[in-house]
A and B are shown apart, each in its own frame.
Chain A
Amino acid sequence: MIHNKSIVELGAGLQTGEFSSVELTHHFIQRIEQLDKDLNAFVSTTPEQALAEAESADQAIKTGQAGPLTGIPIVQKDIFCTRGVKTSCGSKMLDNFISPYDATVVEKLKRAGVVSLGKANMDEFAMGSSNETSFYGPVHNPWDKGRVPGGSSGGSAAAVAARLAVAATGTDTGGSIRQPAAFCGITGLKPTYGRISRFGMIAFASSLDQAGPMTRDAADAALMLQAMAGFDPKDSTCANQPVPDYSATLSDSLEGLKVGLPREYFGEGLDPSVAASVDAAIDLYKRLGAEVIDISLPNSGLAVPTYYVVAPAECSSNLSRFDGVRFGYRCQQPKDLEDLYKRSRGEGFGAEVKRRIMIGTYALSAGYYDAYYLKAQKTRHLISDDFKQAFKTVDVIMGPTTPTPAFGLGEKVDDPVTMYLNDIYTIATNLAGLPGVSIPIEPVSGLPVGLQIIGNYFTEAKLLNVAHRFQQETEWHRLAPEDSRLNP
C-alpha cells in the first residue's frame, strides 16, 4: 500500500509519475478521516491547504524543481506556529490562537515543498510523557489503543506509526521525540541543541527544547533533518555550523565503531525483555564491526531530579506571557486585573502545567534559588561532563530509550513522579545538549521497543549512519500496527 512507503520510496514514485502528490495527499486525508477517530493524533487537519500545497508540489515536479521532500504529506506538532492555522500547543490556553506567523521550521519545510496535513496532538505545552495532558484528550497508541503513545510528541509518533502521515515534526525537551518514537515503533531524532531553530516553536524549557524529525526510518530522518537544520538569525541559541549532507554518509561502514554501553542504563528498573531486545540489537552492531565498550555515566541518577528543577524553572517564566491580555484564553468578566490574571491562567492551564509552573516558581523564589536552581545548574554540569569524558573513548553511546514498552492509558497519570521516571534514559542528553536517536528494535509482546543511540555534539550524520546500517539489516522499522505478525 502506498501509505506504507517511506519518503525515499514515495519520492521515486512522484518523480516517475506513478502517482501525483494530490493523489497521495487525498489518500492520507482519507486515512485520517477513517482512522484518527480512534487515535486522536490530530488536533486540527488542513485538507484544503494540503491539497493546494500538493498541487504546487506537482507543478514543481513537472517543471523539474522538486527536492526530495516535494509533495510529501507530513504533520506538524501543534507546538510549531503556523500562520493562519490554529496553534494550540495542546492547551485550552491557546485553543483560540491563530498564529500570525510561521515558525522557522515550518517555513523551511514549506520551502522544501512538503504538504502539511494538519497539526499533531501533544501533551499540553509539551509537558508530559504519555500525551494524556492534552486539552484535546489523550492520543491512543496505534499498536494497542489501550496504551499511551508516549509524549509529548505523541500525536506525531502515532500519526507516523499508523500511516496517517509519512513523517512528522516533533520536539524533545526531556525525551519527547525519542520516547514516543520508541513506544510507537518509529525513528525519532533529537538533534544537538542549536542544530534547528527554535523560533516559532512555543517554548517549554528554552535551554533544553530542540525540534527534530519523526519518521519511518533513518534515511527519511536524514531528509527531514536536512530541510529543518541550519542557522537562523532569529534564534540567538541556534548554532552557526555548516549542515552536512546527512544522506551521503548513511551507508558508511561501521567497522571499528566504538559503542559505549553505560552500565547505569542497564540496571535496576529496566524491563528484562526490553534489555534482551537491546542486547540483541547490540549483538547485531558487533556483527557489523562495532567494538562494544563498557562505560560509566556516574551522575546519571541526577538527571531526572536536575531536569525537574531546570525545566520547570524555565517554563514558569516562559509561560508567564499567557495572561489573557494579548492572545489566548481570557476568563469571563474579570473583576479586576489580578482576577484577570489568576482566572485566565487558572482556567487556561491544565493540572500538569500548573504543577510545573509552581515547582519552577518555587525553585526560583527568594530563599530557595541556591538550594534548587543553582544546585541543579551545577549538577547539570556534572551530567554534561560525564558525557564529555565518555566521548573521549567512544563514538556513540547505546542503551534502551525507555525502561519499558508503552504503558496503559491512565496507568501513571495520577502519579507525576512515576511518570517522570519514565524519561530516565532520555533526559540527560537534553541537559547536556547532545543528539540522540531512537530506532525500533525487536518488539516485546507485540509492543515496539526503542534503541537509543547518543552521539557527540553535531554528529547527527554519524547517528543516522549508525541507525541506517541497522535498518539495512533489520525489518523492525517496516512493521506497521496493521501488520498481522504483531497483532494476531
Chain B
Amino acid sequence: MQWETVIGLEIHTQLATKSKIFSGASIAYGADPNTQACIIDLGFPGVLPVLNEAVVDMALTFGLAINAEIGPRSVFARKNYFYPDLPKGYQISQFELPIVGMGSLTIDLEDGSQKVIGITRAHLEEDAGKSLHEDFHGMSGIDLNRTGTPLLEIVSEPDMRSIKEAVAYARKIHQLVVYLGICDGNMQEGSFRVDANLSIRPFGQEAFGTRTELKNLNSFRFMERALNFELERQIDLIEGGGKVVQETRLYDADRDETRSMRSKEEANDYRYFPDPDLLPVEINDQQLQRARQNMPELPDQKRQRFESDYSLSSTDALMLTQSRQQADFFEKVVSNGGDARMAANWVTVELTGALNKAGIPLSQSPVTPEQVGGLLRRIADNTISGKLAKQVFEAMWNGEGDADKVIEAKGLKQITDSGQIETIIDEIIANNPKQVEQFRAGKDKLLGFFVGQVMKQTQGKANPGQVNKILLGKLKG
C-alpha cells in the first residue's frame, strides 16, 4: 500500500514584547522563579486583565504578512481546565473571532517548486507557567514566571503532504516572524514551539485518517525526526492490522520516539466562553494602516528585489535573505562601495564561514559591513588581489583595523608597476632555463610554475593579470 502523509502544524510564537499580554510584569527569560509573576499573573482574587497594545500590533503585522482576513472584531475567550501551571483555572485565549483569520504562505521546496499552505487562523493567548519535577519530597515545584507571556498561535490547514513540506513551512514561519520582529525565534528558550498533527491515508483516498498530535518539537531537527518516527509508527500500526488512536504524543528526543501523553487525554471539556473581564477588540483602519506602514520588506519581496536590483543569482538572493540581519548586512556592504556579486559571495562564504567557525551570530560579527565594503573597494580598484583580500579580512576579523590600514601596515599593496614586474620575471627566466625550454617545447602547464615563482618573489602582491601577460610575452619570445 502506498501511503500519503497529511500534516498540519500549530505553532506557538512568543511575541517579543517587554511586558505580559495582560499585566505589566516583565517577560525576560531566565529570572528567579516567581519573581516575574505579579498578582495579575498569579490570578489573585479580584485582579483583572488589561490587554497589551503591542500584542495587537504584532498580530496585525503577522496577519498582513500572510494576507489574512482581519477584524473588524476579535474576542477573547476563557479555556477552562485545572492544571498547576495555570493559575486562574482558565487560559485566556481566543476561540470564535480570532484576531487573524484565513491567510496563506508560499513555501519553497528543494526541487525549486513552490507550494501554497493555508493558514486557518492565528490567535492571541497567554502562556502557562512551568512545573519543575526535581525532588521536592515527592512534590512538584511551580514557577509561574512564564504565565501571561503573550503567544500568537498560528494554525495551518492540513495542507502539507510530506515531512519535508512540514519542515519547510515551519522554517518559513520562523523566518517570517523573526523578519517581522514579532518573535525572537529562540527555540531553545521556547519562543517558537511547534505541535504537529499527522495522519496517513492511502493515496487517492479523500477522507483524512485518524491523526495524532505531536508535542515538544523544540528544534527543526527534532521535528523532522519526530515526524519520521510517527509516520513509521502509524504505517506499521495500520499495516499490522491496528488502528491509530487520536491522542497527544510527546516526542522524546533522547530515545528518538513518541509516546502517548495519557494525562492530557482525559476527555477535555474546556467550556470556552467569552471572557467577561475583557471587551471585544475592535480593529480600526488606523491600526491597520500603522501596521502596514511599520511592515518591513518580507523575505520573498526582498529576494526578488535582490535578484533584479543587484543582478544576483536566485541562489545567492535566497541565501542572503534567509535572515533580515544578513540581508541588511549585505546591502550595507554594497552601499559602502562593494560590488554586489562580490559582496554576496563575501557575505555568504567568507563571513558566514568565519562566523560559523567562531560559533557566533552575525549580530556579534567583529567585522562591520562598512569594513567589508572597504575591502571590496580595494579589490575592485586593484589595490589588492582577491587572494590577499582573505588575509586582509582575517586581520580585520582580528581587530587590526580597516582594510586600508591593514593593507598599509602589512604592505599588501599590489604591485602594478610593469617595469618592476618585468625585472622580477627576467630574473626568474634567467634562473630557470630548463623550465623555459620545456615550456617552449609545448609544456603549457608550466605557466603556473612561473606565476607561482613571481608570486613567491612578490609575496603574492603582483597583479596576476599583468604577471600573466608579461610572462607569456617573454616566454613565447
Interface residues of A (CB under 8 A from B): 80-81, 87, 89, 94, 97, 99-101, 103, 198-203, 205-207, 233-237, 313-314, 316-317, 319-323, 325-328, 337, 341, 361, 364-366, 369, 373
> Which has the most chain A C-beta neighbours within 10 Å: B39, B88, B271, B279?
B271
Q: What CA separation (Å) do A337 and B142 show in the bound complex?
A: 13
A81 CB contacts on chain B under 8 angstroms:
44-46
Tell yes or no: B84 within 8 A of A by CB. yes
Asked whether, in the complex, the Cβ of B277 is within 8 Å of the Cβ of A236, the reply is yes
- Which residues of A are found within 8 Å of B271, using beta-carbon distances? 316-317, 361, 364-366, 369
Query: Could you tell me if A205 and B276 are in contact, using CB atoms closer than 8 angstroms?
Result: yes
Residues of B within 8 A of A199 (CB): 46-48
> Do A325 and B84 touch (CB < 8 A)?
yes
- Taking residues whose C-beta sits less than 8 angstroms from the other chain, chain B's interface range is 20 to 34
CA distance A86 to B122 in the complex (A): 43
Residue ID in chain B nearest A200 by CB atoms = B46
B80 x A317 contact (CB < 8 A): yes
CB-based nearest B residue for A232: B48
B contact face: mostly helix, strand, loop, or mixed: loop
Cβ–Cβ contact A99 & B48, under 8 A:
no
- Known contacts A203-B277, A237-B48; 4 additional CB pairs below 8 A are A201-B46, A233-B50, A234-B50, A236-B51
- Pick from A87, A200, A320, A373: contact of B88, CB under 8 Å: A320
B50 contact set on A, CB distance < 8 A: 233-236
The complex places the Cα of A364 from the Cα of B276 at a distance, in Å, of: 14
Are A236 and B269 interface neighbours, CB within 8 A?
no
Chain A residues whose CB sits within 8 angstroms of the CB of B273 once the complex forms? 313, 317, 364, 369, 373
The residues of A that contact B269 with a CB separation of less than 8 Å are 365-366
Overall SS of chain A's interface: loop
- The residues in B between 30 and 65 inclusive whose CB is less than 8 angstroms from any CB of A are 39, 42-51
The answer on a CB contact under 8 Å between B47 and A364 is no
A-B contact pairs, 28 of them (CB 8 A): A81-B45, A99-B44, A101-B44, A198-B46, A199-B46, A199-B47, A203-B46, A203-B277, A205-B276, A235-B48, A236-B50, A237-B48, A237-B279, A313-B273, A314-B276, A316-B80, A317-B89, A317-B273, A319-B89, A320-B90, A321-B44, A321-B89, A326-B43, A328-B45, A364-B271, A365-B271, A366-B269, A369-B271
Query: Closest residue of chain B to A194, judged by CB?
Result: B279
Instruction: Name the residue among B46, B47, B87 with the largest chain A CB count within 10 angstroms.
Output: B46
Let me know if B44 and A325 touch, CB within 8 A: no
Chain A proximity of B367: nearest CB distance (Å): 47
B89 to chain A, nearest CB (A): 2
Q: Tell me if B78 counts as interface (CB < 8 A to partner A).
A: yes
A325/B46 contact (C-beta < 8 A), A317-B80, A373-B273 known = no
Interface residues of B in 61-96 (CB under 8 A from A): 78, 80, 82, 84, 87-90
| B242–chain A nearest beta-carbon distance, Å | 28
CA distance A179 to B271 in the complex (A): 32
Q: Are B84 and A237 in contact (CB under 8 A)?
A: no
- Annotate B247-281 by CB proximity to A: 1 below 8 A, 0 otherwise: 00000000000000000000001011100111100
> Chain B residues near A323 (CB, 8 Å)?
82, 89
Per the bound structure, the CA–CA distance linking A317 and B79 in Å amounts to 9
Chain A residues, CB < 8 A from B42: 326
A234 touches B276 (CB 8 A): no
Chain A residues, CB < 8 A from B49 = 236
Given the complex of chains A and B, what is the CA–CA distance between A198 and B279 in angstroms? Answer: 14
**Smallest distance from the beta carbon of B87 to chain A beta carbons, Å?**
6
The 7 closest A-B pairs by CB, nearest first: A320-B89, A206-B276, A364-B271, A207-B276, A321-B43, A200-B46, A202-B45
B39: nearest residue on chain A (CB-CB)? Answer: A101
Residues of B within 8 Å of A89, CB to CB, are 45
Q: A234 touching B48 by the CB < 8 A rule?
A: yes
- Given the complex, which residues of B lie within 8 Å of A361, measured CB to CB? 271
Do B276 and A100 touch across chains, with their CB atoms under 8 A apart?
no
Inter-subunit contact B46/A202 (CB<8 Å): yes
